[in-house]
Amino acid sequence: MVHEVPQRCYQCFRPKPLCFCQSIPRIDNNTNVLILQHIGERFHPFNTARIVQRALRHCHLIAGHNQRLGRHHLPIQANSALLFPRADAPSLAELPASRRPNQLVIIDGTWHQAKTILRDVLQLQKIPCYRLAPAAPGQYRIRREPNSQSLSTLEATVAALRVLEPDTVGLEQLLAAFNQMVEGQLTHPNRHAAWRHKENRQSRPRYLPNSLLQDAGNLVVAYGESTPGRQGERAVTSLPVSWVAQRLGTAERFSCHLRQSPPLSDTILERMQLSTADFDNAVSEDQFRDLWAHFVRRNDVLVVYHHGTYQLLGHIKASQPRCLVLKSVFRQWQTGFRSIEELMAAEKVTAPDSMPQSRANQRLDLAVALVEHLRT
Note whether residue 137 is domain-resident. Answer: yes
Does the pLDDT value for residue 7 go beyond 80? no
69 and 27, same structural domain?
yes
CATH number at residue 247: 3.30.420.10
Note whether residue 7 is domain-resident. Answer: no
Last residue of a domain, one of 132, 152, 186: 186
94 and 214, same structural domain?
no
Task: Say how many domains are in the chain.
Answer: 2
> Which amino acid would we find at residue 330?
F
In angstroms, rounded to a whole number, what is the distance separating the alpha carbons of residues 21 and 221? 30
Note whether residue 10 is domain-resident. Answer: no
For residue range 302-356, list pLDDT tens digits in order: 999 888 889 999 999 999 989 988 877 766 555 556 666 676 666 666 666 555 5
Last residue of a domain, one of 186, 221, 248: 186
* Among the listed residues 312, 315, 310, the one whose alpha carbon sits nearest the alpha carbon of residue 328: 310
Rg (CA), the chain: 23
What is the domain extent for residue 305? 210-375
238 and 160, same structural domain?
no
Q: Determine the average pLDDT of the residues in 153-178.
A: 90
When mean pLDDT is compared across 8-17, 57-66, 118-127, 143-152, the lowest value belongs to: 143-152
234 and 161, same structural domain?
no
For residue range 223-267, list pLDDT tens digits in order: 999 887 654 444 467 889 999 999 988 888 999 999 998 899 999
221 and 355, same structural domain?
yes
Listed in sequence order, the residues at least 6 apart from 190 whose beta carbon sits closer than 8 Å to its beta carbon are none
In angstroms, rounded to a whole number, what is the distance separating the alpha carbons of residues 171 and 184? 20
Residue 98 half-sphere exposure toward CB, CA atoms < 13 A: 0
301 and 350, same structural domain?
yes
DSSP state of 265: P
130 and 228, same structural domain?
no
Helix ranges (H only) for 75-141 are 111-120
112 and 25, same structural domain?
yes
370 and 232, same structural domain?
yes
CATH number at residue 109: 3.40.1280
Does the pLDDT value for residue 137 go beyond 70? no
Run of H or E including 105:
strand 103-108
In angstroms, rounded to a whole number, what is the distance separating the alpha carbons of residues 17 and 323? 39
Note whether residue 226 is domain-resident. Answer: yes
